[in-house]
Amino acid sequence: MGNVEEPQNSNISSVPQLADAAAGLNLYDTASHAVSPFKPIRPGHVGIYVCGATVQSSPHIGHIRAAVAFDIVRRWMLRLGYDVTFVRNVTDIDDKILDKAAAAGQQWWARAYYYEREFTRAYDTLGVLPPTVEPRATGHIPDMVELIERIIRNGHAYVVRDSDGNPTGNVYFDVASWPHYGELTHQKQGAVEADEAAAVADRMGPSVDAAGNDKYNPIDPADASPDKHDPRDFALWKAPKDTDPQDARWATPFGVGRPGWHIECSAMSHRYLGEAFDIHGGGLDLRFPHHENEMAQTRAAGWNSAARWMHSAWVTAKGEKMSKSLGNGLSVPAVLAEHSAWVVRYALGSVQYRSMLEWSDQTLAEAQAAYERVSNFIDRAGSALGEQPERDEISAIGADDLPQDFVAAMNNDINVSGATAAIFSAIRDGNAVLSQVQGALDDATRAQVRATLVAVRAMLDTLGLDPLADPWAIAAVDGENSKAGKALDALISAQLEARQQARAAKDFATADAIRDSLAAAGILIEDAPTGSTWSLK
């Protein structure tokens, strides 16, 4: 992606009509360690930058959890009526990419692109909305060079030179020159003030005050250089290693080399969101050093950076962060081979984004049970109505038209657990109404059932889980949405016809046997003067 691409927003000169509920949105901010009212920089518009993947190898569940978490944040913003510009970058130049490509006999850029596509397939399969812009680091080298030059001019970075005074290609941020360093993570001069999630991150990784090797993100060799003025200084630009290919090097005023990890996000967020934007997101393990360094260098360049920093917690396996480096990473293709994409997405988004998510068989079993409850109600309600509301109607439902308990939960720092409870409460009420119906629905009951069905699907859609939306597209009530649904409907209809013939012949033993066998298979039969209908329990 070239560095001249601009975000494809809707009309940014207009102010969208917001839901009244938008005034009640409260979000956590890592920098303040507090939940506070959300107020966008520009009325009606929200700019979000989320750190994307370093495309070195296949995505695992830990990677995708962050994508799902911020997809839900974005979807709620849209439901509130905001115009959202969502930027998610791709890190396609990195020591890990270069080293793994060399070991596999690949071109580094070919490896990066291959795994970028694999990440995209995972996002698409799990219903993550495509970003407004998805810039690659290699497409924004001029932006990075210009940014580094700004930081140098402002006195907050230095170029390492050789004995003859020539630039070596190494440029470091001068932490001592920036008194605000450490403000994001509240780690300054030995005093650590952190919330519970941040404290976990500090125990499991490095901090400003306790520098050391991070088993999740090993220290960049450039950051271990003896040329640094201060151990805390970090690389903005790096001289190439002897093993780096020639096409992984760029000529700059401060020498040939390639970008440091942190500089790319500052450059790309500024390119697409400007000098100030609303939310910067990423995984909890990025808060230090990546986001601390990013905030420092962005502000040292004279820009404002993000107004709010949000971090999604980890997926853990037996209490340990899921990570390839620890050997417990579960690849997305492997998980999807055993579980439906809807179930995997539900499991990944089943708790609030700031809560650690323990990945286990029980987590997936609970997600499967949730799927069955959801799909059975939607199927049953649609069958009673004789139709399913169109997708356009579901997507048009604004936050003010959703149940209040759902809105309150989502406005409370995207409390997905509370939102899910609201969904199942509505399903329970809807099933209770349907269970009392004898025969055809009267107008009042029809309106009640339909309103509940629309509300349930709209709430699910806000979480990216409406089963009748892409990419899920489960079979609708009458099976018209899939070949499997049509086949199932044909088989059950034949059974119902045989049961009807048995009843007409007063062979009630056969009729009851057919009913019982269908019930044992999870098929609910409802008899009415107009005939018998079926639904999944």
d(CA 105, CA 220): 23
Query: Tokens representing 55?
Result: 């495309």
Mark the binding-site residues, compressed into ranges: 51, 265, 290, 294, 324
Query: Tokens representing 189?
Result: 């001069």
Could you report the per-residue pLDDT of 376-404, keeping only the tens digit for each? Answer: 999 999 999 999 999 999 999 999 999 99
Residue 515 has pLDDT above 90, yes or no: no
Half-sphere exposure of 220 (CA within 13 A, CB side): 24
Neighbours of 485 (CB within 10 A): 17
Q: With helix as H, strand as E and coil as C, how does 15-63 read?
A: CCCCCHHHHHCEEEECCCCEEEECCCCECCEEEEEECCCECCCCCEHHH
Mark the binding-site residues for Zn(2+), compressed into ranges: 51, 265, 290, 294
pLDDT confidence band for 200 (50 / 70 / 90): low
Neighbours of 494 (CB within 10 A): 10
Could you report the per-residue pLDDT of 421-451, keeping only the tens digit for each? Answer: 999 999 999 999 999 887 788 899 999 999 9
pLDDT confidence band for 169 (50 / 70 / 90): very high
d(CA 415, CA 485): 34
d(CA 184, CA 265): 16
Peptide bond between residue 289 and the one before it cis (omega within 30 degrees of 0):
yes
pLDDT confidence band for 161 (50 / 70 / 90): very high
Helices 416-435/361-385 angle, 10° precision: 40
Q: What is the pLDDT of residue 125?
A: 94
pLDDT confidence band for 188 (50 / 70 / 90): low
Q: What is the pLDDT of residue 497?
A: 81
pTM of the model: 0.82
Q: What is the pLDDT of residue 495?
A: 84
Neighbours of 409 (CB within 10 A): 22
Helices 404-411/416-435 angle, 10° precision: 170
Query: Tokens representing 522?
Result: 């999870």
Phi, psi of 375 (to 5 degrees): -65, -35
pLDDT confidence band for 519 (50 / 70 / 90): confident
Pairing of strands 167-173, 234-238: antiparallel
Q: What is the pLDDT of residue 507?
A: 86
Q: What is the pLDDT of residue 80?
A: 98
How far separated are the first and last CA of the chain, in Å rounded? 49
pLDDT confidence band for 7 (50 / 70 / 90): very low
Q: Provide the 3-class DSSP secondary structure of residue 332.
A: helix
Phi, psi of 160 (to 5 degrees): -80, 130
Half-sphere exposure of 469 (CA within 13 A, CB side): 23
Q: What is the pLDDT of residue 521?
A: 79
Lowest mean pLDDT, pick from 470-479, 487-496, 511-520:
470-479
Q: Which of residues 30 and 322 earns the better pLDDT score? A: 30
Q: What is the DSSP letter of 320?
A: E
Helices 361-385/443-462 angle, 10° precision: 150
Lowest mean pLDDT, pick from 161-170, 231-240, 473-482, 510-519:
473-482
d(CA 388, CA 476): 8
Q: In what order do the strands lie in the sheet with 83-88?
A: 83-88, 45-50, 276-283, 305-312
Q: What is the pLDDT of residue 145?
A: 97
pLDDT confidence band for 417 (50 / 70 / 90): very high
Which residues make beta-bridge pairs with 86? Answer: 48
Query: Which among 353, 286, 280, 358 is positioned nearest to 316, based on CA atoms?
Result: 358
d(CA 263, CA 271): 12
Q: Could you write out the DSSP letters of every residue in 425-444?
A: HHHHHHHHHHHT--SSPPHH
Residue 137 has pLDDT above 90, yes or no: yes
Q: What is the pLDDT of residue 227?
A: 86
d(CA 317, CA 326): 11
Which residues make beta-bridge pairs with 107? Answer: none
Q: What is the pLDDT of residue 329?
A: 61
Mark the binding-site residues for ATP, compressed into ranges: 324
Which residues make beta-bridge pairs with 87? Answer: 49, 133
63: Cβ contacts below 8 Å, ≥ 6 apart: 53, 119, 332
d(CA 459, CA 464): 9
Q: Which of residues 261 and 161 earns the better pLDDT score? A: 161
pLDDT confidence band for 205 (50 / 70 / 90): very low
pLDDT confidence band for 537 (50 / 70 / 90): low
Q: Which of residues 11 and 78 earns the better pLDDT score? A: 78
Lowest mean pLDDT, pick from 13-27, 54-68, 157-171, 211-225:
211-225
Query: Tokens representing 165?
Result: 């005074």
Q: Which of residues 405 and 510 earns the better pLDDT score? A: 405
Q: What is the pLDDT of residue 105?
A: 94
Could you report the per-residue pLDDT of 313-364, keeping only the tens digit for each? Answer: 988 877 666 665 555 568 898 899 899 999 999 999 999 999 989 889 999 9
d(CA 476, CA 391): 12
Angstrom distances, CA of residue 391 to CA of 47, 268, 422, 455, 466: 26, 34, 21, 12, 9
Question: What is the residue whose two structure tokens read 């994409």?
Answer: 341
Average pLDDT over residues 520-527: 75
The residue type at 412: N
Burial 29-57 (b: 16+ CB within 10 A, else e): bbbeeeeeebebeeeebbbbbbbbbbbbb
The residue type at 395: S
Residue 255 has pLDDT above 50, yes or no: yes
Proportion of the chain above pLDDT 90, given as a percent: 64
Q: Could you write out the DSSP letters of every residue in 206-257?
A: --SSS----SSSPPPGGGG-TT-SSTT-EEEEEPPPTTS-GGG-B--TT-SB
Domains of the chain: 20-342 (3.40.50.620), 360-470 (no CATH), 482-536 (no CATH)
Lowest mean pLDDT, pick from 76-90, 136-150, 496-510:
496-510
Could you report the per-residue pLDDT of 51-106, keeping only the tens digit for each? Answer: 999 999 889 898 899 999 999 999 999 999 999 999 999 999 999 999 999 999 99
Phi, psi of 257 (to 5 degrees): 175, -155
Query: How remote is the C-alpha of 86 from its chain's centroid?
Result: 11
Does residue 427 contact residue 446 with C-beta atoms inside 8 Å? no
d(CA 276, CA 299): 10
Proportion of the chain above pLDDT 70, given as a percent: 84
Query: How remote is the C-alpha of 126 from its chain's centroid?
Result: 10
Signed CA dihedral, 518, 520, 523, 524: sign only: positive
